[in-house]
Chain A
Amino acid sequence: MLALIILNLGLYGRLSSQVLPEPSVVTFPYSEDFSALSEPQYVEFGGDWEIRDQALVQLDTNGYDLSAFIPMEIPPEQGYQFDADVRFIGGTAGGGLFFNAQQPTSRQKSHMVRFNVDQDQLWLVYGYFGDDSNFVGQGSTLLSIAPGTTESQRLAVQVTGETYHILLNGTPQVSDIPLLYRGGAVGFITAASQVAFDNVIVEPLTSAAVTSSSPPPEVAASVGNGESALITLLSDGFDAPDLSETLWRPISGQWLLENGVFAQKQTAGFDLSSIFQQSFATPYTLRATLQHRANVGGGVLFGLPTLDNVRGGHMVRYIEDGSVVTWGYFDDTGAYVGQGSAEVDLPGTAAHTFEVSVGATLYSIRLDGVELATVVELYNPAPESAIGLTSSQSEVAFDSVEIQGVENVVNSATTSPVSEIDAAEATGDWRMDGASIVQTAAEPTDYIAGTGIAGEQFVISMDVLLSESSQDAGAGIIFHMSGRNQRALGSMVRFGAGGSQLFWGHYDANGVFIGEGGVELEARPGVTRTLRLVVRTGTYDIFVDEVLVAEALALNTSSGWIGLLSFSGPVEFSNIQLAVGG
């Protein structure tokens, strides 16, 4: 009898059909400031949600992915923006926004962006909950907000047809993140934190409001500028027979050139790097193809301020088991500071290509053509920076490295680069005199003034007037330099011995000149002579007073900076004409 009583009480008291309070379905568009509500009107999925101080608050600090859905059904084709003030109250992680939830009772098949604290830094993490309800990260971005700040942050997602964008306090953080699920409900989520949400707005997205997407504005504007031409500044297939004949300088690890690859063989240690001994003017795009031979940890360096260490420079590389790529920078002490990460497919032993577009202040990253990060701030914005290769705890073979950048003149148009010369940065004593430039320092050494122009194929000509007072005076042209004013690897052609000679050669990686040839000229003291170079891919020709002096001289470099060179002085350059292009 007792069993029957309990059975009946249980059936009617606990298991009887419940008419669940239907959530008041709201319509799109929607806004709520919680000023007139005393109870949450949303579908809760875990957590302790209340209305407090005219805000929606989740109070449970123990659970992850505690959520509340706004009961609305946004059509899949509807572009919309979902904004809310998110205020961290306490806990260990943070809160954020749910969107495109395919069912308002479960996080299965939904997208999410929320704040997260990791390594004492505040991040925005974003991704989706898949078919199995497990979170799959699509990336994260480091914020310059202190973890634990209790000020409201205006978090927004803009959902378009195939992608979504994340904004924080009106500033785009990440753009063009692929959508896996379209349409559905939106809501709020917290992770081990008390979080308040307020001033919720879900509204249609107008085309004017859509966050500009990839490539990132700054990078795109600079790399894709119509007044600049994209050229290959470096293309290295690692075919050189010996490392000493390249500009790659290992700074740590065990780097070897072998069978057309540049391999780092040491599997113990982190950030084992090799830096290319040439700086590249921003914007530029670095592409490096690598294969992992043992373990995982390969990547590239960029934005390096110096050529002998990684401090102040950026890095992107595989970490952990290869399922994650991280990016960030080395601070001034050399400590690595992460700026973001993304989950990727395991690299295995297949070839993968990192592509980093470095702008004046921002950079973006692609892996095998897939965008990993955009609009990431450069730690050390600079007009030019160096690049490198790196690996950590892994043996990595780099197949090729390519740098594409811009030349600062209009294709094939002839221009005078005199105005581009930065006398303060040049060695020697250079002075502008109208269309002419004079170097007056008389020491018997090479003085170089970079034109600020880089090129692979070009024609340059100039009139040179050597000093009659110095028998050793010389002047000429240096090109394919590693830096704007850095002669390393540059090829040089100049008059010498007061104009009675013309010789040519190149500087090695250490800046030591190696002569390759020369001719005797008729000495003409006090007479202006014309020197003209026609530089092509792999070879160049020399003309003096429009007479061909040397033809099809071999080049060891493919491109680089162009400058004027003076040996002793005074020397006057005039009528400088430069035509870049094939």
Chain B
Amino acid sequence: MQAIQTRLAPFRVGVSQFVEHATQPQYYWITRPLLALVITRLIVFFGAYVAEIAIPGISGDGLYHVNPNNILLDVWARWDSAFYLRIVEQGYWFVPGQQSSVAFFPLYPLLMSFAEPFVGSALAAGVLVSNLCLFGALVFLYRLTEFEFDANAAGRTVFYIAAFPTAFFFSAVYTESTFLLFTVSTMYFARRRMWAWAALFGVLCASSRIVGVVIWGIVGLEWLRAHGWTLGTIHKMQSWRNLLKALRVDWLNLAIICLIPLGLITYMVFLNQQFGDPFAFSTTQSAWGRQMLGPVAIIWRDLTGLFGGNFWTGDIWYHVILDLGAFFAVLGLAFVIWRRLGASYALYCLISILIPASSGTGSLSRYALVIFPVFMMLGHWGRHHWLDRALLISFSVMLGILTTVFVNWIFVA
């Protein structure tokens, strides 16, 4: 026994030293995101696994199982995941009038295709890319929040976003974690005035989701703010003088920022070359039954439908509650964010929620997941102990429930 203890001694010392280093504040930027990732992923992976094997899920046409021989992987391919998997396996396709894969931007499936040879299947590649991107996103979000607030707020922020009720999408074959990584990183570099890096990640962001190109305007606003021009000082002459000066001395960085839309343009050129329709990603939206009615009409329609149902008998669409809750939460917080974090953050929040809400509320709780300024604000407010506990508990419970719902082929978002 003593011999074993002697042999284990160096190992024990090594572990102690590692823990000692890892718990030092200078490593918080990596350890806290890692902790948030591990804890929340344990919840969603374990919850998804148990939910899949314990609950007889619904079945029917189109409710596919990509890999029934590996439940831990299979549960992460539901609903739109099939589009990404098929893009990786067969490339893009576009059939006007039909739901076509051109609606899904290329960055995430491209990363999947890069990873596929190493892990053996598109599904495994998707799950791997999603979770790696989530970790990267949490690191950047921690850094950004630490920059805007402090390390404690940053630590809470990464937990809140990773435990958000729809955060299981971060591990699924969905683009959420990829998009979050590149929006947060773009914003981080923009706030640090590292414009070339911001442009690089902005290009990737613009090629990961249709609203990604919005980041171009956000980075532009940050460039203006960096040079003393803000929406709040638009009426002051000094602001405009600052702007003219910036255009003279920092035009190169502005030109670099203007490369961000190339992410979208590249995809449009590709669509034009492949299918003769550079706006195919928009054309195909009608196949999902979406109409641009504007957010007011859409929200009013859903509110009427919600209150026309019967809460007591459950005769309502449960996810409409989630979606409308997410919509109004983001809308309300956007104004607070404007005051505390600035117009760029607030406009990002508003645009990110209003654009999808213009055609439907069907997935707003998922879209809200990547509106990171909201979580930064919650992280700041989380210094109040009661709020911190309330958010963590309610988020974690709802995360477990919605994960169960999702893997059993019940639509969440």
Q: Which residues of A contact B (CB under 8 A)?
A: 2-4, 7-8, 10-12, 14-18, 20, 63-65, 106, 108, 130-134
Contacts and interface: CB of A to CB of B under 8 A. Distances in A.
A64 B70 CA distance: 11
Contacts of A63: 69
A17 B92 contact: yes
Interface residues of B, number: 34
A14 B91 CA distance: 7
Contacts of B259: 4
Contacts, number: 77
Given A3-B200, A12-B270, A132-B57, A17 B63 contact: no
Contact of A16 (B203, B204, B274): B274
B140 interface: no
Contact of B60 (A3, A12, A17, A131): A131
B267 interface: yes
B65 interface: yes
B113 A14 contact: yes
Given A106-B64, A132-B57, A17 B110 contact: no
Given A10-B106, A11-B106, A11-B110, A132 B91 contact: no
Given A10-B114, A131-B59, A108 B69 contact: no
A550 to B, nearest CB: 66
A139 B359 CA distance: 51
Nearest to A132: B59
Interface of B: 57, 59-61, 63-65, 68-69, 87-88, 90-94, 106-107, 109-110, 113-114, 200, 203-204, 207, 259, 262-263, 266-267, 270, 274-275
Contact of A132 (B68, B110, B263): B68
Contacts of A65: 69
B27 to A, nearest CB: 29
A7 B274 contact: no
Nearest to B267: A11
A10 B91 contact: no
Given A14-B113, A15-B91, A17-B275, A132 B270 contact: no
Nearest to B202: A3
Contacts of A18: 90-91
B59 A14 contact: no
Given A12-B270, A17-B92, A131-B59, 5 more contacts: A15-B113, A63-B69, A131-B61, A132-B57, A132-B65
B91 A131 contact: no
B133 to A, nearest CB: 15
B127 to A, nearest CB: 18
A108 B64 contact: yes
A141 B92 CA distance: 46
Given A15-B92, A17-B275, A18-B90, A132 B200 contact: no
B333 to A, nearest CB: 31
Contacts of A3: 200, 203-204, 263
Contacts of A20: 90
A12 B267 CA distance: 10
Contact of B110 (A2, A14, A130, A133): A14
Main secondary structure of the interface of A (DSSP, over half): loop
B106 A17 contact: no
17 contacts: A3-B204, A3-B263, A4-B263, A4-B266, A7-B106, A7-B203, A11-B106, A11-B266, A11-B270, A16-B92, A16-B270, A65-B69, A106-B64, A130-B59, A131-B60, A131-B61, A134-B65
Contacts of A134: 65, 68
Given A64-B69, A132-B63, A17 B207 contact: no
Nearest to A11: B270
A11 to B, nearest CB: 5
Contacts of B91: 14-18
B172 to A, nearest CB: 18
Contacts of A14: 88, 91, 110, 113-114
A15 B106 contact: yes
Given A14-B110, A18-B90, A131-B63, A8 B68 contact: no
A61 to B, nearest CB: 14
A2 B259 CA distance: 12
Scoring A17, A63, A64 by chain B CB atoms within 10 A of each residue's CB, the highest score goes to: A17
Contacts of A2: 200
A64 B67 CA distance: 11
Given A17-B93, A17-B275, A106-B64, A4 B262 contact: yes
A17 B94 CA distance: 9
A130 B207 CA distance: 38
A108 B267 CA distance: 34
A130 B63 CA distance: 11
Contacts of B274: 16-17
B263 to A, nearest CB: 7
A139 B59 CA distance: 23
A561 B61 CA distance: 60
Nearest to A130: B59
Nearest to B60: A131
A126 B68 CA distance: 18
Contacts of B207: 7
A136 B213 CA distance: 48
| Interchain residue pairs A-B with the least CB separation, the first 8 | A131-B59, A18-B91, A10-B110, A133-B65, A14-B113, A132-B59, A11-B270, A17-B91
Contacts of A133: 64-65, 68
B366 to A, nearest CB: 23
A471 to B, nearest CB: 80
A4 B256 CA distance: 13
A10 B113 contact: yes
Nearest to A8: B266
B89 to A, nearest CB: 9
Contacts of B113: 10, 14-15
Nearest to A135: B68
A134 B91 CA distance: 28
B359 to A, nearest CB: 25
A7 B202 CA distance: 13
A106 B74 CA distance: 14
Contacts of A4: 203, 259, 262-263, 266
Nearest to B57: A132
Nearest to B199: A3
B92 to A, nearest CB: 5
A108 B59 CA distance: 11
Scoring B68, B87, B92, B200 by chain A CB atoms within 10 A of each residue's CB, the highest score goes to: B68
B159 to A, nearest CB: 30
Contacts of A7: 106-107, 110, 203-204, 207, 263, 266
B65 A108 contact: yes
A532 B110 CA distance: 97
Contacts of B88: 14-15
A15 B60 contact: no
A478 B196 CA distance: 109
A129 to B, nearest CB: 9
Contacts of B200: 2-3
Contact of A15 (B61, B87, B262): B87
Contacts of A17: 91-94, 274-275
A277 to B, nearest CB: 46
A23 to B, nearest CB: 14
A11 B259 CA distance: 18
A133 B69 CA distance: 10
Nearest to A9: B110
Contacts of B65: 108, 132-134
Contacts of A132: 57, 59, 63, 65, 68
A77 to B, nearest CB: 21
A14 to B, nearest CB: 4
B401 to A, nearest CB: 21
Nearest to A107: B68
A547 B326 CA distance: 101
A110 to B, nearest CB: 13
Nearest to A129: B68
B129 to A, nearest CB: 13
Contacts of B106: 7, 10-11, 15
